Amino acid sequence: MNKALLEVEHLKKSFGGVTAVDACSFTVDEGTITALIGPNGSGKTTAFNMITGYLKADSGTIRFHGETVERPRPAGLYRRGLSRTFQQARIFPELTVQENLVVAAGYTWRQLFGRRVSAEDAQRSKAMLAEFRLDQLSDLVAADLSYGQRKLLEFAAVLMSNPRLVLLDEPTAGVNPVMIDAMERHIRERNRAGVTFLIVEHDMQLVMRLCDPVIVLDQGSRIAFGSPEQIQSDPRVLEAYLGA
């Protein structure tokens, strides 16, 4: 029996007259790669932003690892094991690839440039670079990476905090097919190593082969939840996507 790692209950957010997320509830069980899908404007990004503390919810509760998160703040959640990526990778463009990973392990820039990084963390960042096949690029400034490489670097950086739950916001949007394969492989490997994922992704083929279960939002509410097979044959989902 899986254990709920993230529980979202009656989460709500309006912008002026627009209800972006409307009393939305769902759970993410430990050990899963869960997808959060839905048509454009269905509230996925707003839900992500509330869960990760980038946006304040109007109402509702978020529980992580059995504890209610009273005032979600990105840094606090990061320390508790909940990390995220962004549609446009957020990395430090002026730092090298390796320095990005060291900073993500919790070092300040002062410690980084004062060479006060522990041998263990230096080694961990090297191992992560090798795992992500970024080792050839480790001394390049991140600004010089391709779009897809930046997304990989952001993912690797997020993993430096040893998260239990990672929210990935469109991890393969705009990246080439080789990079999509690499991203998929890394997600699977890390999931096997114990990391739980919640993924917003528009590539339905990828969602259907990688994720289980799938949560479907429409107009801010959850309209379906189940295995990829169940979702694909759910008339409410077809209606939401196709307006049928």
Which residues sit at the interface with ligand ADP, rule CB under 6 A? 15, 18, 20, 38, 40-46
Nearer to ligand ADP, 43 or 213 (CB): 43
- Which residues have a Cβ under 8 Å from the Cβ of 230 and sit 6 or more positions away? 224
Q: How far is the CB of 183 from ligand ADP (least distance, A)?
A: 19
Q: How far is the CB of 5 from ligand ADP (least distance, A)?
A: 22
- Give long-range contacts, CB 8 A cutoff, 24+ apart: 93-96: 93/141, 93/142, 93/143, 94/141, 94/142, 94/143, 95/141, 95/142, 96/138, 96/139, 96/140, 96/141, 96/142
Q: How far is the CB of 28 from ligand ADP (least distance, A)?
A: 17
Q: Are 186 and 193 in contact (CB under 8 A)?
A: no
Nearer to ligand ADP, 133 or 202 (CB): 202
Only one residue has tokens 């392990």, namely 105
Nearer to ligand ADP, 58 or 94 (CB): 58
Q: How far is the CB of 233 from ligand ADP (least distance, A)?
A: 22
Q: How far is the CB of 30 from ligand ADP (least distance, A)?
A: 25
Q: How far is the CB of 43 from ligand ADP (least distance, A)?
A: 4
Q: How far is the CB of 90 from ligand ADP (least distance, A)?
A: 17
Nearer to ligand ADP, 213 or 220 (CB): 220
Distance in angstroms (rounded) separating the CA atoms of residues 38 and 199: 12
CB neighbours (10 Å) of residue 241? Answer: 15
Nearer to ligand ADP, 105 or 217 (CB): 217
Nearer to ligand ADP, 43 or 163 (CB): 43
Nearer to ligand ADP, 37 or 103 (CB): 37
Q: Are 214 and 197 in contact (CB under 8 A)?
A: no
Q: Which amino acid is at 242?
A: L
